[in-house]
Structure 1
């Protein structure tokens, strides 16, 4: 209310005051001009801590446990040394088999030299192939981050037993061993 006592009438809107921009453009006969684009930078995601990844992790592999890695490498190195020294012995196993006969109490000497040399070479090849297979499998497991220390141990046992079986063929074919076993069976 005003001082004069008159009541003020609400004002009527002027032409197009409440019209939308589309209505104003259509009534004026001109195309709708879009409002100027306001560039609002996108909100940046929260900063994530950056952790360096090893090449093995980037390829989906986990790093091996350091103690397991050291133990596996040490066992493989020991196995390689054992294979080398044993293969040298297996190239001429007659002295080894003679010692075995004496340890068992068999009188006489080992005389099956030709067969012993052949089977000694076979036993040496078994040991070499076994070590290479064990080493390759161990490296593959180490790269995947799996425990591997037991693999060189198991490989040594398995392939050592296979090589021993190869040497038992000429040993049990030796005449002195056969006569000893026949004498033991007749008692």
Structure 2
């Protein structure tokens, strides 16, 4: 062996756990008692600052709700005047004839307009509630629009396909 002094060890290289804790100034761990139950998991953060902000989700959700509101506001007058709506629909579909099921059209057009308004309101309330809880919410206006549109479509099909001129025009065109 050599008479030269041994090189000084790097930090923590030969240090005992007590020396390491003293060097980083951490307290001694409590000795674990074998009879103690394990620690329960820590509670989730309860402060507002600890929660994620989800700014993009909030912006997208509010933009979809605004777009839905514009759509509903523009659709309601068309549905209330169902005869004009049916005439336009028949022209676009290429169906010859005139819509004659006006009484049923007025009833179902009013129902469709109400469903549109209530569907949007319910969607907005659910989205707002979800946003307030800090949950992802962008999907709520999309699902609300799809469900509402499907129900309104059924309301529109009833008087349209209850009209003899429209049914005749569709069967002749096929």
Q: Distance in 1 between matches of 2:140 and 2:157?
A: 26
Cα distance, 1:98 vs structure 2: 1.2
The reply to whether residue 129 of structure 1 matches residue 112 of structure 2 is no
Specify the alignment match of 1:153 in structure 2: 142
Unaligned runs of 5+ residues in structure 2 are: 1-45
Alignment deviations for residues 24-75 of structure 1 (CA, whole Å, 9 cap, x no partner): xxxxxxxxxxxxxxxxxxxxxxxxxxxx943x97xxxx45401101111111
Larger Rg: 1
Alpha-carbon RMSD: 2.1
CA contact (8 A) 1:63 1:144 kept: no
1:64–1:142 Cα contact (<8 Å) kept: no
Task: Report the TM-score, using the length of structure 1 for normalisation.
Answer: 0.63
Q: TM-score, normalised by structure 2?
A: 0.67
Residue among 73, 81, 94 paired with 1:84: 73
Which runs of 5 or more residues in structure 1 are unaligned?
Answer: 1-51
CA distance in 2, matches of 1:89, 1:103: 15
Moved over 2 A (4+): 180-185
> Residues 106 and 177 of structure 1 are in contact (CA less than 8 Å); yes or no, is this contact kept in structure 2?
yes
- Cα deviation for residue 88 of structure 1 reads 1.4
